[in-house]
Amino acid sequence: MTNTTIDIPGYQGRATRLEQACIFRVIDVEGCQIADMFVVSADDNSEVFSPPLTRQTGFRLTPRPGDLLYSNRRRPMLTFLDDTSPGPHDMAFAPCDPGFYIDLGADSSHPNCRDNFYQAISKLDIHIEPPPDPFNLFQNTVPKADGDFVVGQTLSKAGDYVEFRTEMDVIIVITACSVDLPIDGIEPIGGLSTPLRIQVD
């Protein structure tokens, strides 16, 4: 799939299949939006992106341009090519789910990245339970020296993007995170989930 643009409305997700050696960007259209990115091997859906193996091989909490993103079988899935955002990104948090919103005082029907992952990938006739762990693009949850996370508002501006190259045939799922409620008095995405875009060269 080349020269393709996929628009992702706020509070929703989209999945696409990409062949090896594709270059794609995940664009924060309006700014201040978290993009959960899930990566699944197209040939074997049990092979998925592994944050722990990626931390171990890169020897850092979060990949940077030039780093490889590894699968749970220690095979490169993506190369992180470019980043026009100020960062940071997060590779520690699970996708938000109904329980996450119940803890924040909402009800279980609140939109969430877990259900948006299921819905998006089901359009490709795939079901993966539980969802793989994501790379949370633009998510500003940097740990302090004592290990506690500090939640900050997302710093990306309109049009900021991160760019990757596929190192195998993959399915990419991007969800526009729905975390529109305050956490410790901070609104991570400014109180409203806004659109993202996947652009494939």
Q: Which residues bind Zn ion (CB under 5 A)?
A: 96, 113, 177
The nearest distance, CB 112 to Zn ion, in angstroms, is: 6
What is the residue whose two structure tokens read 């949850």?
Answer: 141
Angle at 171 between CA 165 and CA 175, to 5 degrees: 95
Structure tokens at 89: 């990104």
Q: How far apart are CA 28 and CA 39, in angstroms?
A: 18
Q: Which of 21, 25, 17 is nearest to 1 (CA)?
A: 17
The nearest distance, CB 168 to Zn ion, in angstroms, is: 26
Nearer to Zn ion, 50 or 139 (CB): 139
Whether residue 115 contacts residue 108, with contact meaning beta carbons closer than 8 Å, is answered with no
The nearest distance, CB 167 to Zn ion, in angstroms, is: 26
Nearer to Zn ion, 42 or 96 (CB): 96
Nearer to Zn ion, 121 or 177 (CB): 177
Nearer to Zn ion, 33 or 54 (CB): 33
Q: How many residues does the chain have?
A: 201
The nearest distance, CB 48 to Zn ion, in angstroms, is: 17
3-state secondary structure of 115: helix
End-to-end CA distance of the chain: 9
CA 13 from centroid of its chain's CA atoms: 10
The nearest distance, CB 87 to Zn ion, in angstroms, is: 18
Nearer to Zn ion, 168 or 177 (CB): 177
